[in-house]
Amino acid sequence: MGWLIKFLEKLGVVQVEEASTQIDSIHFNDLDELIDLKEQELLVRYNLKEEMLNYTNKLKDKRWQLECKIDDWEKKIKYLGIDYRSQEISLIFNETREFLELMAFYEVKDLNKIKLLNVKLQESLDHLQEVIGSSSFSYNYSFILPREEKQVAINPLAKELIEINLAREEFQSLLSKSGYYHIRPLRERIVALTQIQDQIKQLQIEVNNKAQRLQAVQAKQKEKEEELDLLRNNPENAQIVIDKNKKVEIDHKIEELSDQIIIFFSKFKSALSNYAEKNPAETLVQEYLNDPSGSLFKDEGLAILSILRNLQEQIIAGKITLLVEQNDLMMQQIKLAQRGKLEEWRDEYHYLLQQEKEVTQIKSTDKDFILRLEDAKYRVDHFTKQALKIQEDFVQSQETLNSGKEKLKQELELFENTFQKIFSQEIKVRI
């Protein structure tokens, strides 16, 4: 609590032989207390409470004096028989009375409220000075003055307002010099720092929970992977695993083969659709449009070749109008089909289908093993995906936590620098 000793030393409560040159270390939870002490230090050093009382009393006196003068001026105007209501001065006096209402306060013990009052006073004073300056009353005012003051070179109302403004500026200058206005922003910054710290605590809880969940899921994932390895590595099940993997490979090849056929016939889609409309009896064309690969696999006589030949003849005869690029592509695809590409694909499909039948003819006991194998693979996949998702959430939360910690660090450094600039005292805040 070195900062407290230094404060008490300044107040003369305690004495130390030699001032410490070390940086004062203070815990975050003690910041409010430190600011309270600094506030009291400023109040004592600059006698702010007494100065505030003097200032508010001065404003009250000025208010009362100016109200009395306005009353006297209005009586003078009526006595002289001037049409008061038609004069610019009527508006000026009314606005001045409204301004004086700002100073109709009772006991004010909060310097921050005085700060707000001073802002309003300045705005109103600027407005009144502008109103007076733009009116004839700014120079035509001698009729409201007593005989001995006829030669006064300044507007009497403007003079009163200037004196009020001087009092305001004098007290405002004292507050600025004392640094008291920095107290409230520092308190607000402590509140903001507390909110950041609370967010970090909540984020830390989330990160810890996600880390525990990730650890539990990864343990479950490892357990299921070991169970799957036991099934796969069992010599009694080796051939079943081989056949199962082979079936997966065959299914993949059939899928790739189907994709190639679909892409091939997509080049003919427009021409075949046109052909189907003109030849509705040719149901095979519609079948190829709906399911190119399935239709080719069951087209034993490759009847589609005759249809493609008809398309070729119509293109050559100009009965089908295509762009040059489309025409060349169509002719290339038809020639590819005529050279046996469709037959090659169909035969490859039947070969793969036969291989698939060979590996799928398994015993009922093997089926039970495959079911257990598939279940084990599913569980491994399930926990792997779950672990990946939790890990992504964990990493994201950790990054958010790190960002929060970095923000807190920066805000603390800003607080320390601001504090040092205001009070010429270097501190280090501990969390």
Q: Does residue 276 form part of some domain? A: yes
Domain end: 369, 389, 409, which one? Answer: 389
The Cα 254–Cα 260 span in angstroms is: 10
Q: Tell me: do 152 and 296 sit in the same domain.
A: no
Q: Tell me: do 373 and 232 sit in the same domain.
A: yes
> Which amino acid appears at position 209 of this protein?
N
Residue closest to 431 by CA, chosen among 235, 200, 169: 200
**pLDDT tens track, the chain, 431 positions:** 454 545 555 544 444 444 445 678 999 999 999 999 999 999 999 999 999 999 999 999 999 999 999 999 988 888 877 765 557 888 999 999 999 998 876 566 788 888 888 999 999 999 999 999 998 888 888 888 877 766 767 889 999 999 999 999 999 999 989 988 889 999 999 999 999 999 999 999 999 999 999 999 999 999 888 888 877 777 666 566 666 777 788 888 888 888 888 888 888 787 778 777 877 777 888 888 888 888 888 888 888 888 888 878 877 777 766 666 777 787 888 888 888 888 888 888 888 888 777 766 655 456 677 777 788 889 999 999 999 999 999 999 999 999 999 999 999 999 999 999 888 899 999 98
Token pair in block for residue 271 = 């021409």
The DSSP annotation for 110-161 comes to -HHHHHHHHHHHHHHHHHHHHHHHTSGGGT--GGGS-GGGTT-SS-HHHHHH
DSSP state of 108: -
Q: Tell me: do 237 and 363 sit in the same domain.
A: yes
Q: Tell me: do 365 and 282 sit in the same domain.
A: yes
Residue closest to 97 by CA, chosen among 71, 131, 133, 122: 71
Q: Does residue 418 form part of some domain? A: no
The Cα 210–Cα 204 span in angstroms is: 10
Q: Tell me: do 231 and 153 sit in the same domain.
A: no
The Cα 35–Cα 418 span in angstroms is: 13
Q: Does residue 107 form part of some domain? A: yes
Q: Residue 118 contacts by C-beta under 8 Å, 6 or more apart in sequence?
A: 168, 171, 172
Given this model, what pLDDT does residue 310 score?
82
Residue 412's CB is within 10 A of a number of other CB atoms, namely: 20
Q: Does residue 189 form part of some domain? A: no
Q: Residue 364 contacts by C-beta under 8 Å, 6 or more apart in sequence?
A: none
- Residue 394's DSSP bridge partners are none
**26 phi and psi angles, rounded to 5 deg:** -140, 140
The Cα 370–Cα 184 span in angstroms is: 73
Given this model, what pLDDT does residue 349 score?
85
Domain end: 147, 178, 209, which one? Answer: 178
Q: Tell me: do 252 and 104 sit in the same domain.
A: no
Q: Does residue 91 form part of some domain? A: yes
Q: Tell me: do 235 and 357 sit in the same domain.
A: yes
Q: How far is CA 321 from CA 25, 274, 317, 408, in A?
A: 88, 11, 10, 72
- State the DSSP H helix or E strand holding residue 249, giving kind and residue range, or none if neither: helix 238-266
The answer to whether the beta carbons of residues 105 and 117 sit under 8 Å apart is yes
Q: Tell me: do 173 and 282 sit in the same domain.
A: no
**137 phi and psi angles, rounded to 5 deg:** -65, -20
Token pair in block for residue 320 = 């089908």
The answer to whether the beta carbons of residues 430 and 28 sit under 8 Å apart is yes
Q: What is the extent of the structural domain holding 300?
A: 219-389
Q: Tell me: do 240 and 363 sit in the same domain.
A: yes
| 424, burial (CB in 10 Å: exposed 0-12, middle 13-18, buried 19+) | exposed
The Cα 28–Cα 35 span in angstroms is: 12
Q: Does residue 206 form part of some domain? A: no
Q: Does residue 163 form part of some domain? A: yes
Helices (H), 267-363: 269-278, 283-290, 292-298, 304-316, 324-338, 341-360
The Cα 269–Cα 288 span in angstroms is: 9
| 337, burial (CB in 10 Å: exposed 0-12, middle 13-18, buried 19+) | buried
Domain count, the chain: 2
Q: Does residue 424 form part of some domain? A: no
Q: Residue 61 contacts by C-beta under 8 Å, 6 or more apart in sequence?
A: none
**Straight-line distance from the first to the last Cα atom of the chain, in angstroms, rounded to the nearest whole number:** 15
pTM of the model: 0.55
Residue closest to 423 by CA, chosen among 18, 12, 13, 24: 24
The answer to whether the beta carbons of residues 365 and 160 sit under 8 Å apart is no
Q: Tell me: do 106 and 251 sit in the same domain.
A: no
Q: Tell me: do 135 and 59 sit in the same domain.
A: yes
Domain end: 145, 178, 211, which one? Answer: 178
- Count each helix (H run) and each strand (E run) in the chain, helices first: 15, 2
Q: Tell me: do 57 and 170 sit in the same domain.
A: yes
Residue position matching structure tokens 């939360």: 397
